[in-house]
Amino acid sequence: MSENQTSTIESERVDERLDDGDRERFSHYVDKNKLTEAMVMGTPVIALCGKVWVPSRNPDRYPVCPECREIWESLSPNSRP
């Protein structure tokens, strides 16, 4: 592999970012009481990462949103939703 090809591969990895559509591929952290209400009433919830949606899918089928996880881990146990 030439040096040029290696540089190109590294550049592509650096540019990998989450776009707005990627939030659809994750499960998100939401206040448990608000999640229950949303599932029953069909009202939207706001995830720690800021995503707003009406939950309707089994979150166990998706990986956890990295942004939600980072925020969750930064919170003290007493302030977690």
Buried b (16+ CB within 10 A) or exposed e, 33-55: eebeebeeeeeebebbbebeeeb
Write down the pLDDT at residue 36: 87
* Selection from 60, 61, 55, 24 nearest residue 40 by Cα: 55
Residue identified by tokens 């919170």 is: 75
pLDDT for 32 equals 86
Global pTM? Answer: 0.63
In whole angstroms, what is the distance from residue 72 CA to residue 49 CA?
10
pLDDT means over runs of 10, the chain (81 residues) = 42 40 75 88 92 85 92 85 70
Q: Answer whether 31's CB lies under 8 Å from 81's CB.
A: yes
